[in-house]
Amino acid sequence: MRIFGVILVLVLFAPAAFCQEYLTGQQENPVVKAAASHSAQVKATYAGLDTIPISVPFFDDFSGNSVFPSPDRWIDRDGFVNNDYPVFPVNLGALTMDAINDSGLMYRNAVPGPTNFIADHLTSRYIRLDSVFSPVPRKLTLADSVYLSFYYQPQGRAYRGPAASDSLILQYLTRPAYDTLIGDTAVLHIPDKWQLIWYDNGMQLDTFYNHHNTYFRQVMLAVTDTAKYFKKKFRFRFLNYVSLASSAEPSWQSNCDQWNIDNVYLNIGRSASDTIYPELRFIERPPSLLSRYESMPYPQYSDDPTNEIRDSIDVMISNRDINSHLSAYNYTVTNPSGTFSKTYSGGTYNIQPFYTHGYVTFPPFAHPAVPFLFPISQADSAVFKMTHIVRDNAPGSSFGDTIVGYQRFYNYFAYDDGTPEAGYGLSPAGSKLAVKFKLNKSPDTLRAIQFYFNHTLGYNNQQWFYLCVWNDNSGTPGDTIWSELVMPRFTDSLNKFVTYHIPEGLRITGTFYVGWIQTTNDNLNVGFDRYNNSQLQIYYNSLGQWVNSSFTGSLMIRPVVGKPIPLGIQEQAGEVINMKVFPNPCHGSTLTLQVPATGQSQKFMESSMMFVTNIYGQTLLRTGFNSNLDVSVLSNGLYFLEIRGSDGGRKATTRFIISR
């Protein structure tokens, strides 16, 4: 404990010339990574279908619930179907292309900038552009006026846009791959041949908007070369050239390039002015009904329900037709048992075309009231289903849309929605970050703190930091009431948060703050949700003064309060290896590691990394596992040795002293 106190004093009072907060891109996509195994099953299910061409019309608005593009229309799984990255999409959902593959990890050929490389592909199935079959089969000709159209957007909610040297590209297939016989036995494979049709260079979203006066730009392309493209096996694809941020510090290197694509439409009988695909749609997912949080503990809600419920919510609806539509809007909220059901009706309203009037502004549709409370209960948790419906009132019309969301009450406070669009970091050492939370039911017990950490290249954000809790001092963090020296951890489950337990629990009252103190200049790369905005609840500190964050969004940090937390299966499953080192103190140049002789431990060690850090959390040695560690470069003092697995998780730790 005495050593810990010395470390804390050194960190708290270390001089710093400045404190800077940063946003970076991601090194992995947790949603894609979690769905990767399911993707393999889908690929197996659809194996061989690519040889069967589909017919026009071809249309995809990426509005389904799948993480990957539908195999009914596309042959690869590189792009990410989501509602989080696009800004003001054509409708709910778009496909994001970036530098992360279909396993949710950075591409193997990714290197720090400025060198760019081809990353994602979005490739259509074969399409019959030689003929149509309804109402009667016939051959396609130039007179059929074939057009391909799509919408695209650079950057979206990513922390910055693609570089000017990067690009989004569209190609048409001019010759499918085939094998040819050379001589009597040798076979030569001739690959696909593609032709560049369209491209755009990278830029920031605000620059894109200034150029085009829209957040999503539509591209209309006539398919006119009948000799090349009016074939049984027509195909098109998008691909992107991307680069990573370049930095002298590996922990800051990240994925910077993201493009969003929506409403891809190929059909006959079109023209350059055929830019309308009629639809009445919601633009964003259902918002939380809570006034401050995305989610909160049910007992905390029940203690002050009136102030925790919003007076109204924001809903975005657009009519992409050229005609107005008299429509009705409502939403319902129900619980799984059916004992609670509330319905809001916005009445009817004549929704004008988006192209002349923009999004719906009629208050009962755009800002519907929340004229009810969730039931007050002694339960620890609850989930409520929210269903929003907008429908054309004309008899027999199918013009409309439905979206579903869930209001969750668990044992944690959350400003974020669970999906990181960026990573957050601080520099230099000694910088502090705190997120503000407020109890209704006070006092309560803080049981744990959950963090989401993005991966960085080579796990270079694996640095010690002080996990801290502060009380309130007139609206900013006050005294430190709890702290512990910890390190970022990762998990491969769909819920990517890791939990740091407070074994005895911590009594908290009123307003409190949760965050960290840096021990190094490295980027901890904490998940940052740019969809929800709690900027006014985020504070950072240099040289004794707390100020609000300059970034719009929410840090993915969640305090867990209430009853004691039983250890989850996942937390119990990880093996912690009992490791010993000798001699300790070490008077020479070699430290010998002793681990259990079990097969599981030995196998784990063979694929692990070793890290030696000093008392300030600085990594001095990093190497693959070796039972004899060369410590000749270390001076006298106390050091920490950690063994980390391929997922970055800590599996063995000990300390040793160098005394020569």
Which pLDDT tens digit goes with each residue over 342-394?
999 999 999 999 999 999 999 999 999 999 999 998 888 999 999 999 999 99
Question: What topology does CATH give the domain 46-273?
Answer: Jelly Rolls (2.60.120)
- Mean pLDDT, range 113-125, rounded to an integer: 87
For residue 209, the surrounding DSSP H or E stretch is helix 205-212
The predicted structure's pLDDT at residue 475? 96
CB atoms < 10 A from the CB of 80, how many? 26
SS3 percent helix, strand, coil of the chain, rounded to 5, is 15, 40, 45
d(CA 637, CA 634) in angstroms, rounded, equals: 8
Of the chain, the end-to-end C-alpha distance in Å amounts to: 25
pLDDT score for 21? 80
Mean of the per-residue pLDDT values of the chain? 85
Q: Which CATH class is domain 574-658?
A: mainly beta
Q: How many CB atoms lie within 10 A of CB 164?
A: 11
Q: How large is the average pLDDT for residues 630-634?
A: 91
Please give the CATH number for the structural domain made up of 298-409: 2.60.40
Q: What is the rounded CA–CA span in Å between residue 214 and residue 201?
A: 17
Domain range list for the chain = 2-21+413-572, 46-273, 298-409, 574-658
Q: Is the pLDDT of residue 450 over 70?
A: yes
Confidence at residue 6, expressed as pLDDT on a 0 to 100 scale? 29
46-273: same fold as 2-21+413-572? yes
Q: Is 51 helix (H, G, I), strand (E, B) or coil?
A: helix
pLDDT digits (tens, 9 = 90+) for 416-438: 999 888 889 898 889 999 999 99
Q: Cα dist. 92→213, 316, 321, 395 in Å?
A: 20, 10, 16, 25
Task: Name the residue with higher pLDDT: 230 or 615.
Answer: 230
Q: Which pair of structure tokens corresponds to residue 12?
A: 């708290």
593 contact partners, CB below 8 Å, separation of at least 6 = 579, 580, 581, 626, 627, 628, 629, 641
Contact 448, 411 (CB under 8 A): no
Quote the pLDDT of residue 524. Answer: 87
Is 657 or 546 the better-scoring residue by pLDDT?
A: 546
| Spatial contact of 556 and 526, defined as CB atoms under 8 Å apart | yes
- Tell me: the pLDDT tens digits for 469-514? 999 999 999 999 999 888 887 654 444 788 999 988 999 999 999 9
**460/453 Cα distance (integer angstroms):** 12
CATH number given to 2-21+413-572: 2.60.120
Mean pLDDT value of segment 228-236: 96
- 22-31, 136-145, 349-358: least confident range: 22-31
Of the candidate ranges 179-188, 258-267, 596-605, the one whose mean pLDDT is the lowest = 596-605
| pLDDT band (50, 70, 90) for residue 179 | confident
Q: Is 57 a residue whose pLDDT tops 90? A: yes
pLDDT of residue 572: 36
Share of the chain above pLDDT 90, in %: 59
Residues in Cβ contact with 150 at an 8 Å cutoff, skipping those fewer than 6 apart:
170, 218, 219, 261, 262, 263, 264, 265
Q: Which residue did the predictor score with more confidence, 549 or 16?
A: 549
Classified as helix, coil or strand, 512 is strand
Residue 453 has pLDDT above 80, yes or no: yes
pLDDT band of residue 4 (cuts 50, 70, 90) is: very low
Residue 429 near residue 11, CB atoms below 8 Å? yes
E strand intervals along 519-648: 526-529, 538-542, 545-548, 554-555, 557-561, 580-582, 590-594, 609-613, 619-624, 628-630, 637-644
The one-letter code for the residue type at 603 is K
> CA-CA distances (angstroms) from residue 407 to 314, 333, 634?
15, 9, 53
pLDDT of residue 117: 87
pLDDT at 43 over 70: no
Top pLDDT among 20 and 195 is at: 195
Question: Does 134 score more than 90 pLDDT?
Answer: no
Q: Is the dihedral of CA 442, 444, 446, 450 positive or negative?
A: negative
Q: Are 147 and 267 in contact (CB under 8 A)?
A: yes
Please determine, for residue 44, whether its predicted confidence score (pLDDT) is greater than 80.
Answer: no
